[in-house]
Amino acid sequence: MWWDWALTGVLAALAVLEGLLRPDLPWRAVSVAVTVALVPTLLWRRTKPLLMVLIMVAVTSLAPLLMNGASLNSYTMVYVLMLLYSLYRWGSGREIVAGLVVMLGVVATSIVSGRTVGGDVFGAFTVVFAAFALGTAFRYRAGARLRELDQVKLLEREQLARDLHDTVAHHVSAMAIRAQAGLAASATKPEAATDALRVIEAEASRTLAEMRAMVRVLRRNERAELAPGKHIADLKELAGQGRDGPEVAVEISGDLGDVPPPVGAAIYRIAQESITNARRHARHATRIDVSVAADDTSVRLRVSDDGDSSAGRPITSPGYGLIGMMERAGLLGGTCEAGPNPGRGWTVTAVLPRTGMVT
C-alpha cells in the first residue's frame, strides 16, 4: 500500500538523520546501515509477517558481531514493534505460535547472556505481550466486522430468495388452478389433453411443495406468502408527507410493464431503504425525491434528499443498510452507489439490468 512505502521512506530518512545528530550512537555507520536495511521489512509485514520477524531477529542478533559486542541503540529501531504487531494481526495461527516462541527465545537468550538485566527483563516481556495484545485486539475487531458484513449479505440473499419464491409461487399456483379447471372440463376434450393437464397439475403441485420446503428453511419456519411481492408501481405508496419527516416525491417514467418481478422488488426495497435512511440521518431535510426510469437494457433508481451532507453518513465505511442495498443490486448484476451531493443532500443511485440476471 502507498502508505507503507511512505512510512518506509520516512523511517529510512529518520535513521540517517539520527546517525548524523547523535554523536553518542555506538558504531554509527553500522547502526544506521542495519536500521535502514531492516526498514523494507515493513513492506511485507501483512503478507509475510513471520518471515519479516525472523529476518529482523536474525539481523539484530548478528549485528553485535560487527559492532564488537555493542548492541543496537538506535531510537528509530522502535519500528520493529510494528513487525511484532503485524505478526499477531495478520499471521496465521501457526505463524503466531512460531513467532511467539522465537521472541520468547530471544528474550530468554538475552537474559541468560546478561545483556538484559533487572527492570529490562520486565520491560522486554511487556513489549512482546503488548504487541501481542494490540495485534490480537485489532484482529478480533476486523474479524467481527467481517462477520457482521457476511450476516448482512446473508440476510439480503435471504430476502431476495423470499421475493423470488413469492413471485414464482404465485404464478405456479395460478398454473395449478388452471390445470384443475382443465381437468374439470376434460369430459369434452381429447384424452391427450386430459393426460397433459394431469402432468401439469402434478408438476405444479410438486414444485410448490419443494419450494415451500426450501423457503421454510430460509424463512426460519415462517409461512410462505403466495401473493406477489412489492413492485416498482408500489413506490407510489411511499410518496407523501411523513408525520415527522420530509416529503417524499415519486416519479416513474419509461416502459416498466415487462420488468421481471425480482428487479421490481429490488428497486422497491432499495428505494424504501434509502428513504428510511434519509428520514433517519438527513438533518434539516425537507424533501426526498425518488425517480425511476427504464430503457431497453436497464432500470435506474435515484433517491436524493436536500439535507446536510455532513450529517454523519460515511462513505469509506458504509452502514449495513447501504451494504445490503449493494448486495441486492450485485446479486441481480447491477450496481448501487451512495454519496453526498455537490451542494446539499445525499443521493443513492442504483442501476439494474432489465433482464434481472441473478448471480
Under a CB-based contact definition with an 8 Å cutoff, are residues 243 and 274 in contact?
no
- The amino acid at 78: V
Mean pLDDT of 241-259: 80
| Higher pLDDT, residue 199 or 26 | 26
pLDDT at 213 over 60: no
For 115-173, the pLDDT digits (tens) are 666 666 777 777 777 888 888 888 888 777 777 777 776 776 677 666 666 766 766 77
- Of all residues in the chain, what percent carry a pLDDT higher than 70? 75
The Cα-based distances of 243 to 246, 248, 251 in angstroms read 9, 11, 21
Under a CB-based contact definition with an 8 Å cutoff, are residues 149 and 317 in contact?
no
Least Cα distance to 358 among 157, 70, 195, 67 occurs for: 157
Cell numbers linked to 356: 434481472
- Which H or E element spans position 16? helix 2-21
Give the SS3 label for residue 290: strand
Mean pLDDT of 219-226: 50
Range with the lowest mean pLDDT among 24-33, 190-199, 217-226, 269-278? Answer: 217-226
Q: Is the pTM of this model over 0.85?
A: no
To the nearest 10°, report the CA torsion of 350, 356, 357, 358: 70
Per-residue model confidence (pLDDT) at position 349: 94
pLDDT at 319 over 60: no
Mean pLDDT of 206-210: 64
For 187-197, the pLDDT digits (tens) are 676 665 666 67
| Higher pLDDT, residue 73 or 338 | 338
For 70-109, the pLDDT digits (tens) are 777 788 888 888 888 888 888 888 888 888 888 878 777 7
Range with the lowest mean pLDDT among 201-205, 251-255, 297-301, 338-342? Answer: 201-205
Cell numbers linked to 207: 414444485
Give the SS3 label for residue 257: coil
Per-residue model confidence (pLDDT) at position 211: 64
Rounded to whole angstroms, how far apart are CA atoms 275 and 273?
Answer: 5
Rounded to whole angstroms, how far apart are CA atoms 49 and 132?
Answer: 13
CA end-to-end distance (rounded Å), the chain: 31
Per-residue model confidence (pLDDT) at position 359: 45
- Which H or E element spans position 196? helix 191-218
Residue 285: pLDDT band by 50, 70, 90 thresholds? confident
The strand order across the sheet containing 335-340 reads: 240-241, 247-253, 287-294, 298-305, 346-353, 335-340
Mean pLDDT of 22-45: 87
Is the dihedral angle over the CA atoms 1, 41, 33, 117 positive or is it negative?
A: positive
- The amino acid at 315: I
Best-predicted range by mean pLDDT (32-36, 72-76, 223-227, 289-293): 289-293
- The amino acid at 221: N
Per-residue model confidence (pLDDT) at position 21: 87
Least Cα distance to 56 among 33, 32, 39, 73 occurs for: 39
Cell numbers linked to 172: 405456479
Rounded to whole angstroms, how far apart are CA atoms 112 and 351?
Answer: 67
What is the chain's Cα-based Rg? 32
